[in-house]
Amino acid sequence: MMAVANIQVSETPLVLYALRRADDALILGHRLSEWCGHAPMLEEDMALSNIALDLIGQARELYSYAAKVEGKDNDEDKLAYLRDVRQYRNLLLVEQPNGDFAQTLVRQFFYSAFADLYWRAMMNSRDATLAAIAAKSEKESAYHLRHASEWIIRLGDGTDESHARAQAAIDHLWAFTGEMFTVDDGERALIHADIVIDPGSVRGRWLTTLSDVTREATLKLPQNDWMQQGGRAGRHSEHLGHLLSELQSMQRTFPGLTW
């Protein structure tokens, strides 16, 4: 079988920006899809699957926009399925394994609390396409946050075991949250042009959301300031390579296949 070559992408600041947000949504959506048929109850099986579909929908719009801005022969499928692992720029947080149900929900809570605030602010972007994507994504993220928050409270204020598992998940995943608020020089230029917002501008409200929910859940946020970095620059944990081998398998085996 002939190997399928990785595509090359002209990573201008706007293309790279769109790819980073698309990769976040795609990888987290795939992680959530792994719960299909395995969630603790039918209602949650459907809820997590629907959230995954929302995220994959966001990824499609962002990949399509990245392809349009780049202006070459790449499209959403090529960008999703035919890049090497080092070309993915997603947050390290979203590629972390599902673990138990508590870890999945804490990961979702950390991300959704950020995404809801971020997309709401991005609705004021000078880029009409990004503003439209943000308006749609914020409506979905608001539900994702509400769903995750309710579960964090339910787990944290539940049994001794559910509380312990939720706290362990918070302690484990906390070090992956700082990367959400970092920017490089290219993104800084987009911020100055009012095309994108500075993610650091929503950090205070993000922390308030986390504090309010965890307090009600009788859980505690870590005080550790040390944070993992690398995903935005293409340096990933070992988990992403395994995820991509599954995600890309069909397109790599049958290049250009359509339904």
What pLDDT digit, counting tens, does each position of 129-181 carry?
999 999 999 999 999 999 999 999 999 999 999 999 999 999 999 999 999 99
Show me where the domains of the chain are located. 13-221+229-253
Which of these, 147, 19, 25, 29, lies nearest to 88 by C-alpha position? 19
* pLDDT the model gives residue 169: 98
What amino acid occupies position 74? N
pTM: 0.95
Q: Is 15:65 a contact under the CB 8 Å cutoff?
A: no
60-70 pLDDT, tens per residue? 999 999 999 99
Homologous superfamily of the 13-221+229-253 domain (CATH): Ferritin, core subunit, four-helix bundle (1.20.1260.10)
Q: Model confidence over 22-45: pLDDT tens digits?
A: 999 999 999 999 999 988 888 899
Average pLDDT over the chain reads: 95
Residues 10, 118: Cα–Cα separation, whole Å: 25
Q: What percent of the chain has pLDDT over 70?
A: 98
DSSP label of 159: -
Average pLDDT of the segment spanning 215-226: 96
**Residue 92, pLDDT above cutoff 90:** yes
Question: Per-residue pLDDT for 256 more than 90?
Answer: no
The reported pLDDT for the residue numbered 259 is: 62
pLDDT (0 to 100) of residue 3? 63
* Confidence category of residue 1, pLDDT binned at 50, 70, 90: very low
Average pLDDT over residues 185-213: 98
Q: Tell me the helix, strand and coil percentages in the chain, rounded to 5.
A: 70, 0, 30
Confidence of residue 57 (pLDDT cuts 50, 70, 90): very high
- Backbone φ and ψ of 139, nearest 5°: -60, -40
For range 205-221, the mean pLDDT: 98
Q: How confident is the model at residue 198 (pLDDT cuts 50, 70, 90)?
A: very high
Q: Please report the beta strands in the chain, taking only residues with DSSP state E, as ranges in sequence order.
A: none
